[in-house]
């Protein structure tokens, strides 16, 4: 048997809250005020250096001049153009 959420919340409201021991409060507040700065790990510096080297090499490398370029636009067969138009017609509502 499941208790409805409203009844569960009502039961929680009736529970009395207990006081924390005073020494717990002091320990919790002392931990909260400690600085949480952790120095970066050496692996982070290694990865950052690797990315900097990769980016520098990418920028310093000349663009390849022997890349073959198409002399003209690609020619499509009429049947492939018909199929493309047919699929576009099917996609329209």
Cα gap 70→52, rounded to integer Å:
34
pLDDT at 85: 83
Reference 54, options 65, 44, 46, 66; nearest CA is 46
User: What six digits make up the tokens of 5?
Assistant: 């959420």
**The token pair that represents 30 in the structure block:** 């002392």
- For 72, 74, 91, the CA distances from 80, given in Å and listed in that order, are 19, 12, 17
pTM of the predicted protein model: 0.34
Return per-residue pLDDT of the chain as tens, 93 residues: 566 678 888 888 888 888 888 899 889 888 888 877 777 789 999 999 999 999 999 999 887 777 777 777 777 788 888 888 888 887 776
């Amino acid at each position: 048997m499941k208790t409805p959420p409203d009844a569960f919340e009502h039961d929680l409201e009736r529970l009395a809250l207990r006081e924390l021991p005073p020494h717990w409060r002091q320990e919790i507040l002392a931990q909260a005020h400690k600085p949480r700065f952790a120095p970066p790990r050496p692996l982070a510096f290694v990865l950052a250096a690797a990315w900097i080297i990769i980016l520098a090499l990418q920028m310093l490398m000349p663009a390849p001049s022997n890349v073959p370029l198409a002399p003209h636009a690609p020619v499509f067969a009429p049947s492939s153009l018909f199929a493309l138009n047919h699929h576009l017609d099917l996609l329209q509502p």
